[in-house]
Structure 1
Amino acid sequence: MIYICCAYLAIINIVTFIVYAREAKPSRIPFVFVFGLPIIGGSFGAILANYCFETEHRELRAVYSKFIAFIPPILFFVQIAAMTAMLGPKLVFGTVWNGVVTQGGVIGAVLLVVNVISFVLVAIRKASYYFAPIGHDVIPDAVLIPFILVGTIGAVLSKIIFNFKEDWSTSARKGVQNFLYNNGMFAVLVAYIALLAWFFCFR
């Protein structure tokens, strides 16, 4: 049964990714697919397509862009919550926490918490731009950047799920910030994972 579910999720997410990728082009996909595919399990494929192809920025459907941008993430978390409820929250969270503490001790526990906070901060920063003209003041750079550097895994997950991208090209300092908030975050992630692997596995 588990293998059937995994195969179904893999197929539906691949199909959703392709559909959302086409939605980013002039050929438009019926709304029944745009809204329906994430509901039946293709939320992660929609998230990846939104990030890779900027599907949420369709000129002809600007009125729906906010909804389409947030429907896949919301459904993704709903589906994760449903799976957690089926398996048992104590089992899921207990396994993650015990694994982190066993491998990393106090440092591992602190890093897990920091990554969760980093995930939330990036999500808030992204959401603030839909509701505030100066959204970057809601979560200032002085707060966000340190959490990105220390909690890179959480930041990158949130960046992909909520399609977080910024472009402030007004100065050299802002250029460095642009790099960190965009492709640089992935470069930091590679270094971060390598450092964690060395610290917890090969030290």
Structure 2
Amino acid sequence: MRTVTYRCDRATQGAAMSDALAFPALAASALTQAMGFLYRRAEVVLDCRAQRSEASEPLPPEEVPEVVVGDPGHALDFDPDEVTDERAERLETLMEVLGLYAENEHLVQEQEERLRRTLGRLRTLLEDVYGRRITFVGEEQRPTSGMRIVNRARDVHGVSRALKARRVSSDANPDILHTAEVVHPGGEMTSVEVDDLL
């Protein structure tokens, strides 16, 4: 059995939040690809939420652009319960802003800071909905796209685990955020516990 145990505090959580809102400076063509990928994902989420997808034909296979690093998962593989009214409204607002950039390509080429902030916010929302990281080229400090596990606890008296699995592939690259405000005496935070690494 392999385990990884550590303790986190609010400072760690704050650093993770600022990282989440950052978006890389990309070449214009790559930025256009990234924007298109995130926009299409947001469309899928909102269409499914409105149940319009049931009346339309199945989605064609998604082409993941080269600017995406790792495995972002399937476009339909998200948790509908995570698409709250608030998140849906924020998705719609961000998509409206991106629509303006699509109509004014020179703003994309100029790498406007507002565009990157908008993309960072949209990515953060989609990562919460999909439960996966979405990482682009040039983000060497960020885990590649893949499974994301978030486990936030207020008080830990016993054992808090983010991931417990019998067998995990060595190719798996889960991104785990495991935090607590207080770990009481005798308490333990075990982020990953794996019996067998394949």
Identify whether the pair has TM-score above 0.5, normalized to the shorter chain. no
More helix by share: 1
TM-score, scaled to structure 1: 0.25
| Larger relative contact order (CA 8 Å, sep ≥ 6) | 2
